[in-house]
Amino acid sequence: MSEEKIMILKMLKDGKIDEEEALKLLNAVGEKKGEKTYKPNKKRNEIHIEADDYDVFDASDKFASKISNFVNKIVSKSLETAEKGMRDGHVYTNFSFDDGDRFKNKKFATLKLDVDKNKKYDLIINNTNEKVEILPSSSDQIEIYGKIYYTDKKTIPGDYEFINCFIDEKEILIEPNYSDLTKKDFSVSLKVLVPALSFAKVDVNTSNDKIVLDSVNCEELYLTTSNDRIKIEDSIIGKSELKTTNAPVKIKDAKFTDLLINTTNAEITMHNTPFVNLEAHTTNAYVDVKDVFNCAENIIITNSNGPVTVELESVSRNVKFNLRGLSKYTCPAIFDDSRFKLDEDGDELSTAILNNNSDLTLFGDIKTSNGPIIIE
């Protein structure tokens, strides 16, 4: 143990600092020394969050949310104005984005749900214009922490329940309570801490903000957002469908059976993530699939105006990839294994074959433009 940590513990023992201050100092020392303070893939740490603790929601998230909301406001206003112009037979060249900052107030809400660890629930989270994060906890309960932004509307009761939670034998539902108010009155940023449960299905929907999953185990996964990223780490998932726009999809240290990814204008990256079947689509960015494992059977990737990289170092199967859109100057095929054979049929379709003398074959279909296809 470092001298700094020993000194911090001594100050705690002598009563010079409290436990919260000691924890912050220890984490700071860890970060300074390059230590990773949070390792959900090795240990489920219990995360304690107080309802009025601003540290729950990072300042960077707040800044990113403002940028995202501003961009969304511009896009929405542009579409609204264009639609009105078409209806009226006019073309508008000047319009204002000044709707004011509606959500001038904020408060925090905490809810806890008792669950049966022997049951496989469907976890459904619906949100709008705010982030959703599902994180691990060593608690036996599901803990929901909401950061609520709301207007000065005088008709909002002081005890209004901004978050709805429902649980029965099969389903857990978490969503903003818009029964008496609307999306113009408030929004909720959600952190959901889950114990070591195995879910039948996890279905998360939001817009204009990110979705983050850490240490989730489920048979089916559906994530949908727009204009912000999807990030998954340390999770074990069967069938999965991930959809966003104009933002990246990043996956690390996870495991999938069937994985479908759709985004636009942003990268797709996968590292240390075994899968059986992968289908990934984006545009105007790069696709980087590292560490393909030998369990992989099918890979389909489409892109445009960007490179595609697939790393096959751990694959001992035979490999047969259809490569589409190849061009000597704008979209070359690059192999770092001379055993690959490339057959070109002249119809924008080439076949890359690697014979590993195996009874099994990894099939692939990769298409891009204005960027190389790299097989490592």
Q: What is the pLDDT of residue 327?
A: 87
Q: Is residue 341 part of a domain?
A: yes
Is 90 exceeded by the pLDDT of residue 202?
Answer: yes
| pLDDT one-digit tens code per residue, 134-182 | 999 988 999 999 999 988 877 788 888 999 999 999 999 999 999 988 8
Share of the chain above pLDDT 70, in %: 75
Mapping DSSP to helix (H, G, I), strand (E, B) and coil, where does residue 268 land? Answer: strand
Q: Is residue 376 part of a domain?
A: yes
Q: Is residue 254 part of a domain?
A: no
| pLDDT one-digit tens code per residue, 99-117 | 446 677 889 999 999 999 9
Q: Is residue 172 part of a domain?
A: yes
**30 and 102 together in one domain:** no
**19 and 92 together in one domain:** no
**72 and 191 together in one domain:** yes
- CA 339 to chain CA centroid, nearest Å: 37
Last residue within a domain, chosen from 173, 197, 228: 228
324: β partners: 349, 367
Is 70 exceeded by the pLDDT of residue 345?
Answer: no
**282 and 184 together in one domain:** no
Q: Is residue 258 part of a domain?
A: no
Return the minimum-mean-pLDDT range out of 201-210, 260-269, 328-337.
328-337
- Average pLDDT over the chain reads 82
Q: Is residue 243 part of a domain?
A: no
Percentage helix, strand, coil, to 5, in the chain? Answer: 15, 40, 45
Is 70 exceeded by the pLDDT of residue 35?
Answer: no
**56 and 102 together in one domain:** yes
Q: Residue 359: which domain range?
A: 267-376
Q: Is residue 257 part of a domain?
A: no
Q: Is residue 58 part of a domain?
A: yes
Last residue within a domain, chosen from 199, 228, 257: 228
**143 and 207 together in one domain:** yes
pTM of the model: 0.75
**18 and 71 together in one domain:** no
**171 and 308 together in one domain:** no
Q: How many folded domains does the chain comprise?
A: 3
**23 and 50 together in one domain:** no
**69 and 103 together in one domain:** yes
Identity at 337, one-letter amino acid code: D
Helical ranges in the chain per DSSP H: 3-13, 19-32, 59-88
| pLDDT one-digit tens code per residue, 268-288 | 999 999 999 999 999 999 999
**133 and 203 together in one domain:** yes
**114 and 159 together in one domain:** yes
